[in-house]
Amino acid sequence: MATKLWQKNTTPTAEIERFTIGRDRELDLLLAESDVVGSMAHITMLESIGLLTADELTTLLAALRDILSEIRDGQFTIEEGVEDVHSEVELLLTRRLGDIGKKIHSGRSRNDQVLLDLKLWTRQQLRDIVQLVKNLFDELQRQSERHKDVLMPGYTHLQVAMPSSFGLWFGAYAESLADDMLFLQAAYRLVNRNPLGSAAGYGSSFPLNRQMTTDLLGFDTMDYNVVYAQMGRGKMERNVAFALASVAGTIAKLAFDACLFNSQNFAFVKLPAECTTGSSIMPHKKNPDVFELTRAKCNKLQALPQQVTLIMNNLPSGYFRDLQVLKEVFLPAFEELKDCLTMTAYIIPRIEVNEHILDDPRYDLMFSVEEVNRLAANGVPFRDAYRNVGLDIEAGKFQPDKHVHHTHEGSIGNLCNDRIAAFMQQILDGFAFGKVDIALQRLVNG
């Protein structure tokens, strides 16, 4: 059994070890690349303050680059008996380099090490989510433009209300994603602060150069106060979870609409047969399982902020092992949201739109407001126009004029998709991903 980084003369029982390690070995594989990159920045800083020689740094960096290649090639594992990814990396260095490998931990704790790993990993995950949100946004905008002249009923209280269009319907979800992107940007900025150097939450007597590691890793700034850096564990996950939940909320609502509109009673849209599933007993069934599963997964993701809050909410300042459990709910959430975003972007352009919904007379009354407005525009007081049209409806005399002429911003005839796209692009530009790319390329490639 491997020696623990913290072990002295006492060995924990197998039961205690199993319980306290939990799923760390499994989940820490996700953090392995971040752990190595963070260690590269840390030892570069250690050399600058005289805790490593130039030759030792060169040797360590070469070995860490080898481990990084193994991680990227899928050859990295956390061995049985090794607690976590930090321990495995240090163990590999020590095996390959001897005592030099034991020097890399000077000036840091596993507390700020895991904080750093989580921030580096989450930063990349958010970037992946941002790209997938943009992909879905683009698909929705394309469908909005493609079907902008196809009218459909709009609903309030699940009652037929007023004319809408598929241009509005698709476009509404695109703009919703633009607002969600603001949450993602706020989360990204919160994540993009360097905790390294806070050690166990109270700093170090070594003359650490925290600005150097901040620059090497492409962070915008650092978490300055070392106690606050540790307090950020849990807070970071909670606020990122709110951003993920915002995206998930948009997709869940879209999925519900799609399930509803795909049903025979509505028949507003149709999913291709190859995008549906069947029934084991009813041969006619074509079920929208993809949207139902998307709805369920996204509803589950909307519970993530509360899960994180309940795990860490009643903890005082300082580190506690409770925080380990955050990984179990937080890390898998990204892959689940990515899957939902990818699948939704796949199926949106394949939805078939019914262009003849309004041929059905059951939707005639949704044009009543159009008639009220026409009368008001011709000088009839609005309340009188409203009453007259209402009396015609009650008497069964209402005849709809199905020609809709909406011109104001964001309406059926003026979707403003170009302005929404510009808004989205402005948000995307604010992430400034290029700075991170340049920093990490320099650090990793030397």
Question: How far is Cα 127 from Cα 437, in angstroms, rounded to an integer?
Answer: 11
Burial 359-395 (b: 16+ CB within 10 A, else e): eeeebebbbbebbbbebeeeebeeeebbeebeeeeee
In this prediction, residue 357 carries a pLDDT of 97
* Total length of the chain: 446
Is residue 315 within 8 Å of residue 241, measured between CB atoms? Answer: no
Q: What is the DSSP letter of 2?
A: P
Q: Which fold has domain 14-103?
A: Fumarase C; Chain B, domain 1 (1.10.275)
pLDDT score for 19:
59
CB proximity list for 46: less than 8 A, separation 6 or greater: 52, 57, 103, 104, 106, 107
Alpha carbon dihedral 403, 407, 412, 416, in 10-degree steps, equals 160
What is the distance, to the nearest Å, from the Cα of residue 2 to the centroid of all Cα atoms in its chain? Answer: 36
Residues of the chain with CATH 1.10.275.10: 14-103
- pLDDT of 9 reads 55
How far apart are alpha carbons 150 and 408 in whole angstroms?
18
Chain Cα centroid distance, residue 423: 19
Strand, helix or coil at 152? strand
Residues of the chain with CATH 1.20.200.10: 110-152+166-359+417-438
Tell me whether strands 151-156 and 269-270 are parallel, antiparallel or unpaired: unpaired
Share of the chain above pLDDT 90, in %: 86
| Per-residue pLDDT at 409 | 97
What pLDDT is attached to residue 320? 84
Task: Determine the Cα angle at 223 with ends 221 and 228, to 5°.
Answer: 165
What pLDDT, on a 0 to 100 scale, did the predictor assign at position 321?
84
pLDDT of residue 6: 45
CA distance 28 to 78: 8
* Domain with residues 110-152+166-359+417-438, CATH architecture: Up-down Bundle (1.20)
Q: Please name the residues in contact with 435: beta carbons below 8 A apart, sequence gap of 6 or more.
A: 218, 220
pLDDT at 85: 94
Question: Residue 154's beta-bridge partner residues?
Answer: 162
Can you read off the two tokens belonging to residue 411? 């309406």
Which residue has tokens 């509109």?
Answer: 261
Instruction: Compute how many other C-beta atoms are within 10 angstroms of the C-beta atom of residue 397.
Output: 9
CA 319 to chain centre: 26
**Tens of pLDDT along 28-56?**
999 999 999 999 999 999 999 999 999 99
Bridge partners, 146 (sequence order): none
Joined tokens for residue 436: 């991170």
Per residue of the chain (446 residues), give pLDDT as tens. Answer: 455 554 555 666 667 665 555 677 789 999 999 999 999 999 999 999 999 999 999 999 999 999 999 999 999 999 988 889 999 999 999 999 999 999 999 999 999 999 999 999 999 999 999 999 999 999 999 999 999 999 999 999 999 999 999 999 999 999 999 999 999 999 999 999 999 999 999 999 999 999 999 999 999 999 999 999 999 999 999 999 999 999 999 999 999 999 999 999 999 999 988 888 887 888 888 888 999 999 999 999 999 999 999 999 888 888 888 888 999 999 999 999 999 999 999 999 999 999 999 999 999 999 999 999 999 999 999 999 999 999 999 999 999 999 999 999 999 999 999 999 999 999 999 999 999 999 999 999 98
* Residue 10, both tokens: 């006492």
In this structure, the number of other CB atoms found within 10 A of the CB of residue 77 comes to: 13
Specify the pLDDT at position 283.
Answer: 85
Single-letter amino acid, residue 201: G
Percent of the chain with pLDDT over 70: 95
Spatial contact of 121 and 63, defined as CB atoms under 8 Å apart: no
pLDDT at residue 1, rounded to an integer? 43
d(CA 307, CA 35): 25
Distance between CA atoms of residues 336 and 37, nearest Å: 25
CA distance 291 to 441: 39
Cα(368)–Cα(376) distance, integer angstroms: 12
